[in-house]
Structure 1
């Protein structure tokens, strides 16, 4: 934690733990020990530090976890305002469609996506985290043989591109990566070579979807970069459609 904590501090113009003495309401030397990890932070100190460093939810969750505390409640889904023309385009899709941030935070989705992926209704959901280690993992057909290598390739590609992202998105991407790598299967592929071209977007994969029957559904996963002055670089719309052209089953 000290290394990433120093990065967060540098982002806010802080160079030493002693500068956070007022945040912790302790002596500067004690503050330095808290930041270095020599002393464990209390929950109130973690909360104060998260606020002082203006951490986003993913970063605050990582800080709470590393300090041995339960994570803070996630923000409401759709907390980022999406321009109306982009939302209108998403909701016009007949297939499952969603808008993701550059770190795979779910910003919004249409009704078809909610039917296919009920866990999207959870607040603060991260799509990649949900697929690899959350509720969505049960929907993946051939998880370790097909999905994990593709998703790991996708994440590694995004990490390479993250130099172009806003600082907060780079850090939340890092925080998400730490979470998924706790899964042994994910970590195994993370530490080995994967084909970065064999990622999920533009490929055909199979999933179990509610309402589609017991057999898995072959899906085309398509991603579209959203170029708009009011959205962050890397924000995209993802459409998931049945490969055989079947429409969404009736509710």
Structure 2
């Protein structure tokens, strides 16, 4: 379900492979929240070692069964990685920190396992401008959380808080655009993804909350039209490098 609703576009796949060839070749890499391996399979080939971390036991089994060459699957939590400090060259994640219980602590844990000169790389895929479908997701969240507070961390605003946290630690973050492309989606495709509960945050909700969210999302779709809408996307790499020791 997750892969069906979040395909890796050809432009994105090529950009990930190029990034891996340039930045990950011969390095010892940890990926946080590898999930189904949809990103993993594009990053792992040139690495010297690739540890794919996945906290969900069922997803870890699924990822192991995918048998991606060179990938070692580790069932673990990003807040408590099972490796010694200063033992890896790169920690990479693709929109994973926002779904951890404590994104800032997860960033600190990534820094702990990095060698001096190593880097935390956050890969982010964002609409390059207003997203005409964002109203559906917003309506779903508001409907699902009716009568209660929103989570402290949710959505891509976590990225800004993460960067601010790293800056406060005295670490600079550089942003690199890896690729830009256009994705065409219909409102009903977005509703189908919500109905299938294809996003991790939806599993925080009870079935009753989910149904309220779906009702709210359906109410935002105006008329029977379901024409594909072009949405420009940009894939960025936010790289925070650990200082070399003097």
- TM-score calculated relative to the size of structure 2: 0.28
Higher-RCO chain (CA-CA 8 Å, sequence separation at least 6): 2
Q: Quick check: which one's helix share is greater?
A: 1
Report which of the two has the higher share of strand: 2
Larger C-alpha radius of gyration, 1 or 2?
A: 1
